[in-house]
Chains A and B, each alone.
Chain A
Amino acid sequence: MFGSMLGLGYTCLAAAGGLWTLGLARFMFPNILTEPPSRFKVGFPSDFALGKVEEKFKAQFGVWIVNTEYNGQPEICAIRTVCTHLGCTPNWLEAEQKFKCPCHGSGFYKDGINFEGPAPRPLERYAISLADDGQLEVDKSKLFFEEMGQWVDPQSFYTG
């Protein structure tokens, strides 16, 4: 059997299969830099006017800085730009004053509370705090969920 043409064929097949499996295993460890959860400064609290949604950090950091009223008190918070339905990136519609997701139509108020479409939970907040130099600093390693009652945590917002 071994040494025959058939045996050779199967050996080649097995070798190719083995290599392929190894290649597949390699595929599971892509060449990426896993950056540590980032902290970054976004500017002074006075840069964020009440009622404004600051979009300029969306592309790089995936966060909106919003200065709005939540539970009757004005706060600046960092909202994560990920829809709580299935993870698309919603758009801020200035004219309609809402976040609207292009995938299945979920809508969120300015403070991140979901009100239309299928999203089951409000948008999530990142930790925000005042750094030593007086700038606001967002910490993406901590998340705050409204439905768990975590938005009362003073780390989740900044009040002037």
Chain B
Amino acid sequence: MHGNHEVFLSRIQMGLGFYYLILCILNWSAALMAWRSGIRPLFKLGGLTVSNLALWMLLGAWFLILAPIAMMGSPPELPEAVKHLINSLSGPVTLTVGSLAGMAFLFLFRNWWTKPAVAWVLLNLAMFGMGLAVTDANFFEIVGKPDNVPIVGLVFLLGFFTWVATYRAVINDDRRRQGLPPMEKVDDEKVLVWPDLVYTEMICMVAVTALMLVWALALPAPLEEPASSVKTPNPSKAPWYFLGLQEMLVYYDPWYAGVVLPSIVVFGLMAIPFLDFNKGGNGYYTIEERKFSYIVFQIGFFELWIVLIILGTFLRGPNWNFFGPFEYWDAHKVLAQNNVDLSQYFWGGLLERGMPKAPAGSSAGTEILYILWRESPGIILTLGYLLLLPPIMAVTVFRSFYAKMGLVRYMLMANLLLLMASLPLKMVLRWTVNLKYIISIPEYFLNF
């Protein structure tokens, strides 16, 4: 086992060394920029004032020391105990709750973490954590798959763009409090499409093409075994951008998770301009003026799309079981996942009697009536959720919304929100009480 590990390390040592070298160069470039554009004190450490210049220099030096150590094949690693802890803590529940908590944190403390110095330190931490984690063979295997490398890049890119948007929103919100116009108004110098925009686009095009070429040569696209209708690869994964969809399919019947929900997403997004009555934030970044839209969007996009993609890409292994980031993908991992329908819970568990069943030989009509009777708890629950909740919300939490939007627009928004919430709700029900379907009519391929 240990010998294997040494072999593995020797395989990645050069790459990792260069990785640390790049981190060093990045930090020293930041130091250079700090030196050019004004050195600022960041914090005090026992009477000693640490400036940004000093901190970036130090960080760079730290990575410079790590680089040759990594190149010689003994990079810093995460202790086994920490890996075990992370593995045992990670699961769909922790991931979802954790990312929600993280989002709440980012939202509440946006004034703090958008400060460039703080964000830079956070980025350094993330990159260093990545460097530590790839020394684990299991982690490297998943993250380093040619399929998955772009997704790792996208995660960092997403972090960057989230930072840019939040940073500018924080500045604008600050300016608004002081009675100043948003940054975008101050700096609204017009540029020409030709040549300014077209040239920029062309340069970007050339640069991206060059990057793609290098990438394609350095990291060839993986080929899988020849397709066969009788053998499905294990795990069988959709392209990364569909992995959120595939994850949804774990919780819902195909017609709902694969057809209805995605259509609702598309039409719901198209409906937003008609539902939105808030004029704030037109043409500039802001969070304070659009809190509701901001939070709903972040939950829908970040929580229900990005997090599901990450889960599907990195944490779903053979048999679609959940695996911790440092866990070996064992095809024989056994997880007990006995799932039970709501009607089984209701008739069997609560009333302690058998499920209603049409007597043998009865007509199709009677059978349907019996099925409806059997599934009545789920049907009532679903109807109540979609029909009763909106009016209740209209007179409670969404009172002012209702007044501003009118009946039709309000109902549309409320139902879109409820349908969006149906996904996380179902996920939580699956994890906590092993619920399979709320309405389960396998006889007519109708499950919800």
A100 within 8 A of B: yes
> Which chain B residues border A105 with CB–CB below 8 Å?
250, 319-321, 337
Q: Are B320 and A115 in contact (CB under 8 A)?
A: no
**Consensus secondary structure, chain B interface:** loop
Determine if A59 and B230 form an interchain contact, defined as CB atoms under 8 angstroms apart.
yes
Select the residue from B230, B321, B443 with max chain A CB neighbours within 10 A.
Answer: B230
Are A107 and B230 in contact, CB atoms less than 8 angstroms apart? no
Nearest Cβ in chain B — how far from A101, in angstroms?
7
5 nearest interchain CB pairs?
A: A105-B320, A102-B234, A116-B337, A147-B442, A121-B442
Interface string of A78-90 (1 = CB under 8 A from B): 0001000110111
Per the 8 Å Cβ criterion, residues 50-93 of B in contact with A are: none
B338 in the interface, Cβ–Cβ < 8 Å?
yes
Q: Determine the chain B residues whose CB is within 8 A of the CB of A148 once the complex forms.
A: 443
A95 within 8 A of B: yes
Q: How many residues of B contact A (CB 8 A)?
A: 35
Give chain B's interface residues, CB within 8 Å of chain A: 228-236, 246, 249-254, 258, 318-321, 332, 334, 336-339, 360, 436-437, 440, 442-443, 445, 447
**Contact flag A102-B254 (CB < 8 Å), given A86-B249, A107-B337, A120-B442:** no
Give, as a whole number of angstroms, the nearest-CB distance from A123 to chain B: 12
Whether a CB of chain B sits under 8 angstroms from the CB of A58 is yes
Verify B232–A115 contact, CB threshold 8 A. Answer: no
B337–A117 contact, CB under 8 A?
Answer: yes
- Rounded to whole angstroms, the CA-CA distance of A5 and B54 in the bound complex is 71
Residues of chain B with a CB closer than 8 A to A149's CB: 360
Determine the distance from Cα of A107 to Cα of B319 in the docked complex, in whole angstroms. Answer: 9
Chain A residues with Cβ below 8 Å from B233 are: 102
> Which chain A positions have C-beta within 8 A of B447?
120
> With a CB–CB cut-off of 8 A, which chain A residues contact B442?
120-121, 147
In contact, B338 and A116 (Cβ under 8 angstroms) = yes
Complexed CA–CA distance, A82 and B338 (Å): 20
